Amino acid sequence: MNYWVLAGIAVMIAGFTLRLNALVVVVLAALATGLAAGLELVAIVSAFGKAFNDTRYVSVVWIVLPVIGLMERHGLQERARALIEGLKGATLPRLLTGYLLLRQVTSAMGLTSIAGHAQTVRPLLAPMAEAAARPKDEAEAERVKAMAAGTDNVGLFFGEDIFIAIGSILLMKGFMEQNGIILQPLELSVWAIPTAFAAFAIHGLRIWLMGRARA
């Protein structure tokens, strides 16, 4: 067993601890692990280049920025704030809990891309949350916005696995099949339901506590 291939993990931890530029840290980690595994420099660069090219779909989401920017220039964020300020019952806990529920339910139906940090959190949810919370200083505004982003993540992660055709379900089915265990996607996805309820309860409680601490 060649334990030196773990050098890349050590580089990642050291790099993040020292707050070096994360892109540089990633490349150094790839070099460290690649060299430890006995790969040639050219082979490591090629492997990284191939993987980068194969995963371009990860960066496609940025094509929404021009239209988001256009709407923001014409007052979308201001309008989102005004809407929440005009609604009497629009408290921070109600807004975020409602979004959490919506995100979990739609993700469970396989609709993971209808919301997200670029599409909905920045232009809509974050300004609405800020308006509902009326933060007293910059630090509190940051916490509210970070909570809005976190609520999107929790809703997505603990909703999507209930859908039978999502990537992680197919990965589990494929992996188990290779090891001689045949599972149907539905058998896997039903076991995501208890955790989905637990995630809603725990994160909902935290949202409620955040609202109460502010009241």
Partner 1 sequence: MIGLAHVYILAGIAFAAFALLSAGDASNPKRWGNAAFWGLLALSMLAGDQLGDFANGLLVLALVAIAGFGGLGRGEQRGSAEARAAGAARHGNRLFLLALVIPAVALAGTFGFKAVPWLVDPKNVTLVSLALGALLALVLGMTWLKATPAEPLHEGRRLMDSVGWAAILPQMLASLGAVFALAGVGQVVGDLMSAVIPDGSRLAAVIAYGLGMALFTMVMGNAFAAFPVMTAAIGLPLLIHQYHGDPAVVAAIGMLAGFCGTLMTPMAANFNVVPAALLELKDRNAVVKAQIPTALPLLAVNIALIWFLAF
Using CB under 8 A as the binding rule, whether residue 18 contacts partner 1 is answered as no
Residue 50 Cβ vs partner 1, minimum distance, rounded to whole Å: 4
| Nearer Cβ to partner 1 (1/215) | 1
Window 138-157: residues binding partner 1 (CB under 8 A): 142-143, 145-150, 152-154, 157
The residue type at 148: A
Window 173-202: residues binding partner 1 (CB under 8 A): 175-176, 179, 181, 183, 187-192, 194-195, 198-199, 202
Q: Tokens 């809005």 correspond to what residue?
A: 148
Q: Helix, strand, coil proportions of the chain in percent (round to 5)? A: 80, 0, 20
d(CA 122, CA 50): 32
The residue type at 215: A
Among 26, 87, 101, 164, binds partner 1 (CB under 8 A): 26
Using CB under 8 A as the binding rule, whether residue 97 contacts partner 1 is answered as no
Residue 215 Cβ vs partner 1, minimum distance, rounded to whole Å: 19
Binding track over 59-78 against partner 1, x by CB under 8 A: xxxxxxxxxxxxxxxxxxxx
Residue 101 Cβ vs partner 1, minimum distance, rounded to whole Å: 15
Among 49, 85, 98, 212, binds partner 1 (CB under 8 A): 49
Q: Tokens 């070096």 correspond to what residue?
A: 20
Long-range contacts made by residues 65-70, C-beta under 8 angstroms, separation at least 24?
65/118, 68/118, 68/119, 68/122, 68/123
Distances (CA, A) of 154 to 54, 143, 183, 199: 27, 16, 26, 7
